[in-house]
Structure 1
Amino acid sequence: MRALQDELFATLAAQGHPHVRARHGTVLAYLNADGARATELSARSGQHKQIVGTIVDELVDLGYVRREPDPADRRAKRIVPTAHGLDEIAKAHAILAAIEHRLEHALGEQRFATFREGFEEITHHQRAWRQHRDQPM
């Protein structure tokens, strides 16, 4: 996983996003063009709201996102990607798709599908563990 992240962020840097780091994926990987509340990003990423808030602050400073009033609740804020943020999100998706395609070619379609299925199952189990761990007793 670490080697995949290294390739992703090195390629993003070469494509105009040198300041994005793995921790920023806590927000950028779960954000769409319409934006989301910090609580939604926290739930999607499995990170605490305070961590998401800190990362959002960094991304605001870097010009990747902005905070806007939520049209459904003016007291709440939505985290919305800027044009620069949308460019990073699109490039990250394309880079990851290219990496997956290369790995599928290297392993073969069936082996890669089996790997991916197993990895998704492991991810599901780990998220369930995290939810169980974070529930108040």
Structure 2
Amino acid sequence: MSSDPPGYELPLRLLFGFRSLIDDLHAELAKQGHPDVRPMHGFVFQAIGPSGTTAVELGRTLGVSKQAAGKTIDSLERLGYVHRERDPEDGRRMLVRLTDRGFDCLAKSARIFDRLRSEWSEVLGAGRLRALEEDLRKVASPESARLDLPGWFSGH
């Protein structure tokens, strides 16, 4: 009889660790002036990037429909995180770009993640955390580092 935990526990533990980090991030973001940001918004901000994108491209990157991407853009625009503008190279296209508020949220997120990583390092030990990160790099291929998790989770 093996003393190893059942196989299904590994993905659950990884998910619970992810959830813990994201929940802690959002609690701190709320304290720092971003109470309306939701976990999916981080994927959206990354997909928009510094150069902007279109609703079609955003939907493709996130693995959701153009309509779902458009609703998310509308919501983030109302909250002041993104704005729409004509593409200077093709006036028929509308680009979605992050506002200063959107960039502020990303910068604060990066600092908070650094702090959360330090907290994990204190609990696990710096060497064990680095080993965990290195081990995850070995088993999680670069191709798996995509932003389509919103669509992947919802089955789109």
CA distance in 1: counterparts of 2:82 and 2:33, whole angstroms: 16
Change (3 A) 1:17 1:124: same
The corresponding residue for 1:68 is 85
Q: Counterpart of 1:30 in 2: which secondary structure?
A: helix
| Alpha carbons 1:63, 1:85 under 8 Å: kept | yes
1:38 aligned onto 2:55 = yes
Please state how far the C-alpha of 1:74 moved relative to its aligned partner: 1.7
Normalising by the residue count of structure 1, what TM-score does the alignment of the two structures yield? 0.76
Change (3 A) 1:94 1:75: same
From 102, 111, 134, the equivalent of 2:128 is 111
1:12 aligned onto 2:29 = yes
Q: Counterpart of 1:26 in 2: which secondary structure?
A: helix
Q: Which amino acid aligns with 1:93?
A: A
How is 1:91-130 mapped onto 2 (pairs within 5 angstroms)? 91-120=108-137, 121=140, 124-125=143-144
CA distance in 2: counterparts of 1:33 and 1:125, whole angstroms: 22
| Alpha carbons 1:26, 1:47 under 8 Å: kept | no
Q: How many aligned residue pairs are there?
A: 131
The corresponding residue for 2:4 is none
Query: Radius of gyration: which is bigger?
Result: 2
- Quote the RMSD (CA, aligned, Å): 2.8
Q: Which amino acid aligns with 1:73?
A: D
CA distance in 2: counterparts of 1:43 and 1:3, whole angstroms: 28
CA distance in 1: counterparts of 2:80 and 2:51, whole angstroms: 16
Q: Counterpart of 2:37 in 1: which secondary structure?
A: coil
Q: Deviations over 1:74-130 (max 9, x none)?
A: 211211111111111111111112212322343234432343345450784586xx6
Please state how far the C-alpha of 1:2 moved relative to its aligned partner: 1.6
Change (3 A) 1:123 1:76: same
Change (3 A) 1:44 1:119: farther
Please state how far the C-alpha of 1:14 moved relative to its aligned partner: 0.2
Change (3 A) 1:16 1:118: same
CA distance in 2: counterparts of 1:66 and 1:126, whole angstroms: 26
